[in-house]
């Protein structure tokens, strides 16, 4: 599995995880001139901007460590753009930034572990 396939596979697992936990998926791979948000979801009074990180090992650190302050700032700007330009009814929701870590174990697509970090930043 190449890097792009790995990311897409992890995003699918993360989206299914959210659906199984009563989140509504509003957008996947939302893109604008500022960049991309992996998943935008809603649950109760929350509008959640989700960054998904998929890894096959922790040799180079935990997946959440790849969401450094630069990426956090970029996601914050993307979320602000989204709130200003899309779905006016979402403006009443409380924004939250989550990170979902997907770890594929033993290069097996059926053997994985998901860590959902709510309010990660």
Segment 12-47, tens digit of pLDDT: 999 999 999 999 999 999 999 999 999 999 999 999
The whole-number pLDDT of residue 67 equals: 81
Give the predicted TM-score (pTM) of the model. Answer: 0.89
pLDDT for res 105: 81
**CA–CA distance, 98 with 68 (Å, rounded to integer):** 13
Nearest partner of 95 among 115, 68, 59, 120, judged by Cα? 120
CATH number of the domain bearing residue 52: 3.40.1350.10
Residue 119 has pLDDT above 80, yes or no: yes
Contact 78, 37 (CB under 8 A): yes
pLDDT tens-digit series, residues 6-15: 899 999 999 9
How far apart are the C-alpha atoms of 59 and 72, rounded to whole Å? 23
Find the domain containing 11 and state its range: 3-117
pLDDT at 108: 63
Q: Are 99 and 117 in contact, with CB atoms under 8 Å apart? A: yes
Give the chain's domain count: 1
For tokens 């990426």, what's the residue? 71
């Amino acid at each position: 599995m190449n890097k792009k396939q790995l990311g897409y596979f992890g995003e699918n697992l993360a989206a299914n995880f959210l659906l199984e936990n009563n989140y509504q998926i509003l957008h996947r791979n939302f893109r604008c001139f500022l960049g991309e948000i992996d998943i935008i979801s809603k649950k109760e009074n929350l509008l959640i901007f989700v960054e998904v990180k998929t890894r096959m090992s922790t040799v180079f650190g935990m997946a959440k460590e790849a969401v450094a302050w630069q990426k956090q700032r970029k996601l914050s700007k993307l979320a602000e753009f989204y709130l200003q330009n899309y779905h006016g009814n979402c403006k009443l929701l409380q924004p939250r930034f989550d990170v979902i870590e997907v770890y594929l174990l033993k290069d097996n697509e059926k053997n994985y572990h998901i860590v959902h970090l709510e309010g990660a930043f």
